[in-house]
Amino acid sequence: MPNSWRSRLKRLIPPPLLNQTLLSAPILYRTALVNYETNMGPPDIEDLNEILPEVVKVPGDLVECGVSRCGSAVITALWLRKHGVKRRLYACDSFEGFPPAEIEKETQRGLITGANNAFTSTSYEYVLRKLKVLSLDGIVIPVEGYFQDTLEGIPGPFCYALIDCDLEESTEYCASVLFPKLSPGGWMVFDDYHSQQFKGVRHAVDRFVRDHRQQLDVNELRRALYVVRKKRDTAAG
């Protein structure tokens, strides 16, 4: 089911009612309509499923920046569990929406439209309960708070980092903090490169790639996700 239909459904049903319904009948998370509440579309999921077998060849845990209701984190954790991969996935988010100052700044620059209340239907408490009913609370570790307050405290190393922050400043910040913590051969993946609602993401990704090109041995836009891989030879570049 297209993401637009899931978005409409969330707007029609009050969050407390939706949360309680899903938590009471967790089988609903697996349906095509809900799809674990991911904001990723089918092309993104295809990219993710292609990348994960390569990701787990590299030592380290996984981290996501910008998880909202932990949809993609759950999908990734289910893949890890299915394949017997014992890694932790740190799911980082404020769980209350975007930083107001950053939203205002990017709105004034014409980089975003209609995002003031985006991703506010989640909560840290809801995500904890969701992970528990899905028996993923031992794999996914939610990290509550704005990235500037939390990210540097997660030591790594990481084999994989998904940057899905939507805003230019946050995307650039998360990439700059996490790239040094990637294991040699580790993957960094950016969502929303072609987003028309969050245009700052592309600027941030392009700058990151320009500044780190000599340290990358993969650098490409796939179906939907922009994918880079850190060189295994860390002395190179």
* In a domain? residue 29: no
- Residue 20: pLDDT band with limits 50, 70, 90: very high
Q: Tell me the residue type at 73.
A: A
* Residues 51-101: tens digit of each pLDDT: 999 999 999 999 999 999 999 999 999 999 999 999 999 999 999 888 888
The answer as to whether 154 is a domain residue is yes
Cis-peptide into 157, omega within 30 deg: yes
How many helices (DSSP H) and strands (DSSP E) are in the chain?
A: 9, 7
pLDDT of residue 160: 98
Number of domains in the chain: 1
Residue 18 domain-assigned (yes or no): no
* Residue 136 scores a pLDDT above 90: yes
145: CATH: 3.40.50.150
Q: Residue 172's domain spans which residues? A: 38-230
pLDDT tens-digit map of 142-173 = 999 999 999 999 999 999 999 999 999 999 99
pLDDT at res. 114: 64
What is the pTM assigned to this prediction?
Answer: 0.91
Q: Which of 165, 216, 211 is closest to 186 using CA atoms?
A: 216
User: Would 19 be classed as within a structural domain?
Assistant: no
| 68 falls within a domain | yes
Residue 148 forms part of a structural domain:
yes
pLDDT score, position 138: 93
139 within a domain of the structure (yes/no): yes
Task: Give tens-digit pLDDT for 111-128.
Answer: 887 655 555 678 999 999
Q: Is residue 5 part of a domain?
A: no
